[in-house]
Amino acid sequence: MSQPKILLLGPPGAGKGTQSKNIAETYDVDHVTTGDALRANKDMETEHGTPRSFMEAGELVPDPVVNEIVQAALEDADGFVLDGYPRNLSQAEYLDDITDLDLVALLDVDHGELVDRLTGRRVCSECGANYHVEFSPPEEEGVCDECGGELIQRDDDNEETVKERLNVFDENTQPVIDYYDDEGELVRIDGEGTPDEVWADLQAAIEDAV
């Protein structure tokens, strides 16, 4: 069998990055994430401006920029887990044209919890590992368990920008979820348990689908 092609949907902070790491390790597939790709190229000049200005405001980066990133990444991947894309209906249509998916899974988490998850998130400046000051703290405060790198807070993880990201999600990305749901393709995963509980449910859904 070829490697699975999985789309992971969910609001900011739902655990897409956390669970994508599990998927990539367990199924040996690429983790394709527009957020990380854009963060690595924040000051890239495009005809629409740099990604930074959009990201720090919590707004979507223009479609042509992200569509190109995704197309190039999927072309090179055997299997993949796609995280952070599509975020609006036009991106969903673009994706339909370039690939077939084995599973579309939604990590379902209440908005109230998302603000706490995001404002408490810390990421390793060296290897990108994710932590949470309360829910999954590192052994030593401010230091990455995996590589010893410094833990930092993302520019868009302040309360004001988080709220705008949630508004943008409700307005632009919820219709994408409804679209897959109407097609009968959406598998809902309760995203409110511990990371291990969520992973158990998600892995069961993957085993069912592939």
Amino acid at site 21: K
Active site residue 154: yes
Minimum distance, C-beta of residue 208 to ligand AP5, in the bound complex (Å): 21
Catalytic residue among 16, 21, 117, 122: 16
Q: Does 123 bind Zn ion (CB under 5 A)?
A: no
Minimum distance, C-beta of residue 185 to ligand AP5, in the bound complex (Å): 19
Considering only residues 1 through 20, tell me which ones interact with Mg ion, judged by CB under 5 A.
17
Interaction partner, residue 87 (ligand AP5, Mg ion, Zn ion, none; CB < 5-8 Å by kind)? ligand AP5
Q: Does 127 bind Zn ion (CB under 5 A)?
A: yes
Minimum distance, C-beta of residue 202 to ligand AP5, in the bound complex (Å): 11
**Residue among 150 and 207 whose Cβ is closer to Zn ion:** 150
Mask for 164-203, x = binds Mg ion (CB under 5 A):
----------------------------------------
Cβ–Cβ under 8 Å, residues 122 and 71:
no
Between CA 169 and CA 178 the distance in angstroms is 12
Between CA 68 and CA 53 the distance in angstroms is 19
Between CA 16 and CA 29 the distance in angstroms is 15
Minimum distance, C-beta of residue 25 to Zn ion, in the bound complex (Å): 16
Q: What is the dihedral of CA 154, 37, 43, 126, to 10 degrees?
A: 50
Considering only residues 61 through 100, tell me which ones interact with ligand AP5, judged by CB under 6 A.
61, 66, 84-85, 87, 91
Q: What is the dihedral of CA 175, 199, 85, 171, to 10 degrees?
A: 30
Residues 6+ apart with CB under 8 A from 90: 63
Minimum distance, C-beta of residue 145 to Zn ion, in the bound complex (Å): 8
Q: Where are the alpha helices (DSSP H) in 58-88?
A: 63-76
Amino acid at site 140: E
> What kind and span of H or E run contains 39?
helix 34-40
Catalytic residue among 42, 154, 163, 188: 154
Cβ–Cβ under 8 Å, residues 192 and 19:
no
Q: Does 126 bind Zn ion (CB under 5 A)?
A: yes
Binding residues (CB under 6 A) for ligand AP5: these are 10, 12-18, 34-35, 38, 54-55, 58-61, 66, 84-85, 87, 91, 117-118, 121, 130-132, 135-136, 156, 165, 194-195, 198
